[in-house]
Amino acid sequence: MAVLETGVMFSGVPIVRVNYYNDSSTDSLLTAGLLEAIQLFAVEIFGDETESFKMKKYCILLHNFRLLNNQKVILYSICDTLDRPKMIKNVMKNLAKNFIEMFPAVDMGCLDKYSSFEEVITKKMGDLIFRPEDRLKKVFL
């Protein structure tokens, strides 16, 4: 299991995105749009929020939270498989708290200021970003 990508979205726009495995076929706007559409569908049809969904090769975890000014923000993690969901969800909750502390409101006019949060994400995710073969290499190198 490895976290392949983690990001923060606001109104369907990715404001922070950290991709740990270069996959040039992914587009941050398409990813954000898909996740926002799934979230809106769940709320409109079922009156509930999506926390995760699983595909054959990937699992996506979502964490919704509100900023101090009540703006709704979504934190997401894309994993290759999911064998430690509680651990990743706990990290995501902590990331949401860190985001609120660093950025009490989202300003869409200046998205560059959120790039500092990429380092926070990577630090909090720790070894969850490594695939088993990468962990093994890390031990021997």
Question: What are the structural domain ranges in the chain?
Answer: 3-140
Partners of 66 in the β-ladder: 72
- Of 1-10, 17-26, 75-84, the one with minimum mean pLDDT is 17-26
Residue pLDDT, tens place only, 8-55: 999 889 999 999 887 656 678 888 888 888 888 888 999 888 898 888
First-to-last alpha carbon distance for the chain, in angstroms, is 21
Top pLDDT among 97 and 43 is at 97
Partners of 54 in the β-ladder: 59
- Contact assessment for residue 106 and residue 67, using Cβ atoms and an 8 Å cutoff: yes
Write the CATH number of the domain with boundaries 3-140: 3.30.450.30
- Contact assessment for residue 131 and residue 80, using Cβ atoms and an 8 Å cutoff: yes
Query: What percentage of residues in the chain have a pLDDT greater than 90?
Result: 51
**Among residues 30, 24, 40, which one has the least CA distance to residue 7?**
30
**Among residues 63, 85, 94, which one has the least CA distance to residue 76?**
63
Q: Which of 19-23, 67-71, 77-81, 129-133 has the highest mean pLDDT?
A: 67-71
What is the arithmetic mean of pLDDT over 66-95? 90
Widest distance between CA atoms in the chain: 51
Q: Supply 106's token pair.
A: 């989202």
> Which phi-psi region, left, alpha or beta, contains residue 11 (left: φ > 0; alpha: ψ -120 to 50)?
left
Q: Where does 36-133 show beta strands of DSSP type E?
A: 52-54, 59-66, 72-79
Looking at this protein, which amino acid is placed at residue 9? M
Q: Does the pTM of the predicted model rise above 0.75?
A: yes
d(CA 51, CA 38): 10
Reported as a pLDDT band with limits 50, 70 and 90, residue 140 is low
